[in-house]
Amino acid sequence: MSISYKPSDAYVGDVIPFYENGRYYAYYLHDPRKRNSGIYAEDTTWYLVETSDGLNYEDKGCILPTGDETTPYLNNYTGSVIKHTDGRYYAFFTAFNDLNEKYRVNGKSVQSVMMASGETPEKLEINKDFRLVADDRIYEVYDWRDPFVFFNEEENLYWMLLCARHKGSGYHRGGCIGLCKSKDLKIWEYAEPFYEPGMYITMECPEVFRMKGRWYLVFSTFSDRFLTHYRFSDTLSGPWVIPYEDSLDCRSDYAIKTAGTEDERIAFGWISTKLGERDEGPWEWGGTMIAHRLTADEKSGELKVSILDALDEYFSEHAEVETKIVNGNFDDDTLYSPGMGALLHEVKEKEFMIELEADVSCREFGLFIGSDEKLEEGYQIRVSNGTLSLDRWPRKEQGIYQWQIDGDIPFAIETVRYFDPSQKHFQIKLIRSDDVLIVYLNDSFVMSTRVYGHYSGLAGLYTVGGSIHLNSYRLRLSGKDR
């Protein structure tokens, strides 16, 4: 078992979760990465795993098989699943065929929406006669994907949100969330954009849901940054509030979609792999499925991301640690250093959790994993000035000059998370499982990423320019390596 799911013969792309009666149906884009080296998301279709806790998955295999070069669904991409009042389940998905001239406009392949349905969520049959393309009046014809269908009780209509672009808009800021409406899920009418902030190229994988009396809008972008964003509003018509930290995770957990109840949901995404399985490699499309708990703050409206109970309980063994102090003092559960000081211990396992609660009075603090006694190597999880981020040493192989060590890139910038800089009390749960690293902060924020080195060595707490008082500190193991 692994804390992130991956099929044996492929990689996980966008997850399309559907919730019913305590069970999560996590459809996902199954990418075999086989057509061409370095080409992603080809020969891709929907597979299904089911879970009740976001950790233990039951594989149900292929749900939406692809067509051939004559059909619009040579590849099946992201969409959504809804249960109709007639008791049937309907899946709306993105169809794409880049090999057939029939599905091109002005020589460029276009995306379309197709539908499948069935008596159960596990058996869906594609309706080959249903195909919805962009109207080329309100919306551009080339970006038309990721349909999210829900029932709007106020209008007594089904609404479909789509990743789209407003006709005639600029390239970098013309992305919008398109809207179509239907009485029966079969005949759809085009409507003006649901959300158009003038900020992004496109807004992928849109969804809306209701929690704690508010509406939430979630979407993913790759314009200024690769991120899954959210907004909230009292009504579906807006205005949509942009919170202080408007992302659900960092760059490496992309295309997050959610499912659940009005009280609690699970946020499903995929942690990207890196080319060559190297920290220095570029991010790839697809990876392994990951799940987090999602709740809403009733007062502020902000969404909070925290660890699922099943994952927390997975690390059930508590290990004793023998600590050593590096360049500092440790007394009365307080670590102090005028420079950088650390409290370290050995970790031999490839799968572990470090859990701590602390009050800080310092310039910076955080955790090292896979380090040496001189803090020359390893991963550094840094909390400083209202940011949570990941750094590593060495950042790269040094050049011919002493200064050629990527000193102008102070951390892995794509991992940074933002929070209220006035906070002084912290709860952290750091999890490493082979090449997956997850850090939960204050039951509110998460940083999920990929790490490919420093599997052995020392781990522990550090401080810079001040003190950190430990209320608790534990090393927890899963028993997997024992």
Q: Which among 297, 312, 327 is the end of a domain?
A: 312
CATH number (domain holding residue 471): 2.60.120.560
- Which phi and psi (to 5°) does residue 310 adopt? -65, -40
> What was the pLDDT predicted at 90?
99
Per-residue pLDDT of the chain (482 residues; tens, 9 = 90+): 789 999 999 999 999 999 999 999 999 999 998 756 667 888 899 999 999 999 999 999 999 999 999 999 999 999 999 999 999 999 999 999 999 999 999 999 999 999 999 999 999 999 999 999 999 999 999 999 999 999 999 999 999 999 999 999 988 999 999 999 999 999 999 999 999 999 999 999 999 999 999 999 999 999 888 999 999 999 999 999 999 999 999 999 999 999 999 999 999 999 999 999 999 899 999 999 999 999 999 999 999 999 999 999 999 999 999 999 999 999 999 999 999 999 999 999 999 999 999 999 999 999 999 999 999 999 999 999 999 999 988 766 666 656 555 555 665 778 999 999 999 999 999 999 999 999 999 999 999 999 999 998 999 999 999 999 999 999 999 976 54
* Judgement on whether residues 266 and 132 belong to the same structural domain of the protein: yes
> What was the pLDDT predicted at 215?
99
pTM of the shown model: 0.95
* Judgement on whether residues 206 and 253 belong to the same structural domain of the protein: yes
* Judgement on whether residues 297 and 339 belong to the same structural domain of the protein: no
- Cα(194)–Cα(231) distance, integer angstroms: 13
> What was the pLDDT predicted at 2?
85
* Judgement on whether residues 442 and 327 belong to the same structural domain of the protein: yes
Residue span of the structural domain in which 405 resides: 315-477
Residue 4 domain-assigned? no
Q: Which long-range contacts (CB under 8 A, 24 or more apart) does 306-310 make?
A: 306/440, 306/443, 306/444, 306/446, 307/429, 307/440, 307/443, 308/53, 308/54, 308/55, 308/266, 309/53, 310/53, 310/54, 310/55, 310/56
Residue 82 domain-assigned? yes
Residue 289 domain-assigned? yes
* Judgement on whether residues 205 and 172 belong to the same structural domain of the protein: yes
* Judgement on whether residues 296 and 319 belong to the same structural domain of the protein: no
Q: Which among 293, 312, 331 is the end of a domain?
A: 312
* Judgement on whether residues 207 and 227 belong to the same structural domain of the protein: yes
Residue 200 domain-assigned? yes
Residue 36 domain-assigned? yes
* Judgement on whether residues 266 and 399 belong to the same structural domain of the protein: no
* Judgement on whether residues 305 and 352 belong to the same structural domain of the protein: no
* Judgement on whether residues 281 and 325 belong to the same structural domain of the protein: no
User: Per the structure block, which two tokens stand in for 471?
Assistant: 């209320």
CATH number (domain holding residue 181): 2.115.10.20
| Domain total of the chain | 2
Q: Which among 312, 344, 370 is the end of a domain?
A: 312
Element housing 314 (H / E): helix 309-314
- Cα(464)–Cα(357) distance, integer angstroms: 17
* Judgement on whether residues 236 and 215 belong to the same structural domain of the protein: yes
